[in-house]
Amino acid sequence: MTKTIHAVWKNGQIVPTQPVDWPEGTALAVAPIEESLVTDPEGDLLGDDPASIARWLAWFDSLEPLSFTPEEEAAWEAARRERRDWEKSRFDEIEEEGKGDITDIDRLRGEGASRTRT
């Protein structure tokens, strides 16, 4: 049921900027976002209207490129290879269950070696 939404703080209450369908009593984690992402506190945050898209593109274009040292890049590539190999080694098991999405891979990873094929 994980769905991230955006909201504004208004008159002492958290006001979502889009509809939500959570059951009453749903626990939430709330944290303020970077002020530069909010140009109109009364409007939609990161919405799909032309003004929000233009705002997001301007913010994205302002980002500095990510730079790795050779050691950091090697570690990153090794971690990617490890994750890819791990996913490939469990593909048949996930396919047999008929689910085949990444949440099943994460679930199986938590079960570790105790999981057996049927």
Strand partners, 16: 7
Q: Determine the pLDDT at residue 94.
A: 73
Residue 92 is predicted with a pLDDT of: 78
Model pLDDT, residue 115: 45
Q: What is the pLDDT of residue 69?
A: 94
pLDDT tens digits, the chain, 118 residues: what are they? 567 788 888 888 888 888 888 888 888 888 887 765 555 544 555 677 787 788 788 878 888 888 999 999 999 999 999 999 988 888 877 777 765 555 555 666 665 444 444 4
Q: Check residue 32 and report its DSSP letter.
A: P
Q: Outline where DSSP puts E strands in 22-105.
A: none
What is the reported pLDDT for 98? 67
What residue segments make up the domains of the chain, in order of their start? 7-61, 70-114
Query: Do 93 and 117 meet the contact criterion of CB atoms below 8 Å apart?
Result: yes
Separation CA 35–CA 101 (nearest Å) = 35
| Cα separations in angstroms, 69 against 66, 73, 100 | 10, 6, 35
Three-state DSSP class for residue 13: strand
Whether 9 and 19 have beta carbons less than 8 Å apart is answered as no
- The pLDDT of residue 114: 46
